[in-house]
Amino acid sequence: MRLVFTVLVLANLALAGYALLFRGKSDPDASLLAQQVNADAVRIIPPPPPAPRRSACLEWGTFSDVELPAVRRELERVGLAQRATESRVPVVAGWWVFIPPQASRVEVDRRIAELIALGVTDYYAVEGEGSMRNAISLGIFRSEEAADQFLRGLEARGVRLARMGSREHRVTQTAFVLREPSPQVSAQLAALATRFPGSELRALADCPG
């Protein structure tokens, strides 16, 4: 009897302890609700706008001021003049075409009058105290090929005293930029470039401006 009584007492104590332990725990559903984010505090962040699409361009140049009329005529001839945008570019030009220094300013003025009579209007007289004082510059070019072609053109017009030489000049020249050229346009520009020695075609990953 004593053994049965002891077992009953231990069972009652265990049951009571379990009940106390159960009441001390929180409701799992209530815990989940407490962990939920407050819906009123939720803020929707829109995705960033896509980056603007970049346009590829083809740049052809650069050209001195004396070359520009011929380049513009060729672009007009092939129907690209309206599509081409002119861009001024600082460059270091290493070649020029010139008439050697004259003995006096009077001789300079005489040579200039001869040039004008032959239809040459782009020139400037070199001043200062250097060795090239009283020379007459007729054109500045980035390449020897371009300078040589220009010199031959002057000789064909009757200019006999012009010479070609190397001399570094920091100048601003002109490049022509075409936005998103088709394969046909690219081929047209490549063909034109062969007519202007020293000119270069360059693909630009991003159009200027």
Per-residue pLDDT tens digits for 66-97:
889 999 999 999 888 888 889 898 888 889 99
| Per-residue pLDDT, 46 | 64
Q: What is the 3-state secondary structure (H, E, C) of 101-144?
A: CCCCHHHHHHHHHHHHHCCCCCCEECCCCCCCCCCEEEEEECCH
Read off the pLDDT of residues 93-131 as tens digits, 9 standing for 90 and up: 889 999 999 999 999 999 999 999 999 988 989 988 788
Q: Give the torsion through C-alpha atoms of 15, 21, 25, 29, to 10 deg.
A: -10
Does residue 127 lie within any of the structural domains? yes
Read off the pLDDT of residues 137-194 as tens digits, 9 standing for 90 and up: 999 888 898 899 999 999 999 999 999 998 888 888 899 998 888 888 888 888 888 8
How many angstroms separate the CA atoms of 100 and 26, rounded?
A: 104
Question: In which band, very low, low, confident or very high, does the pLDDT at 136 lie, cut at 50, 70 and 90?
Answer: very high
pTM over 0.75: no
C-alpha 136: how far from chain center: 35
Does residue 4 lie within any of the structural domains? no
Reduce the DSSP state of residue 90 to 3 states and report it: strand
96 sits in which H/E element: strand 85-99
Contact 124, 137 (CB under 8 A): yes
Does residue 16 lie within any of the structural domains? no
Does residue 26 lie within any of the structural domains? no
Does residue 11 lie within any of the structural domains? no
Number of structural domains found in the chain: 1
How many angstroms separate the CA atoms of 148 and 37, rounded?
A: 79
Contact 137, 154 (CB under 8 A): no
Q: Provide the domain limits for residue 115.
A: 60-204
Residue range 39-59: mean pLDDT, rounded: 62
Cα–Cα distance list, 11 to 2, 4, 8, 204 (Å): 14, 11, 5, 89
Question: In which band, very low, low, confident or very high, does the pLDDT at 14 lie, cut at 50, 70 and 90?
Answer: very low
Does residue 38 lie within any of the structural domains? no
How many angstroms separate the CA atoms of 101 and 127, rounded?
A: 10
β-strands 200-204, 124-125 pairing: unpaired
Does residue 42 lie within any of the structural domains? no
Question: In which band, very low, low, confident or very high, does the pLDDT at 47 lie, cut at 50, 70 and 90?
Answer: low
93 sits in which H/E element: strand 85-99
Reduce the DSSP state of residue 194 to 3 states and report it: coil
β-strands 163-179, 124-125 pairing: unpaired
Does residue 116 lie within any of the structural domains? yes
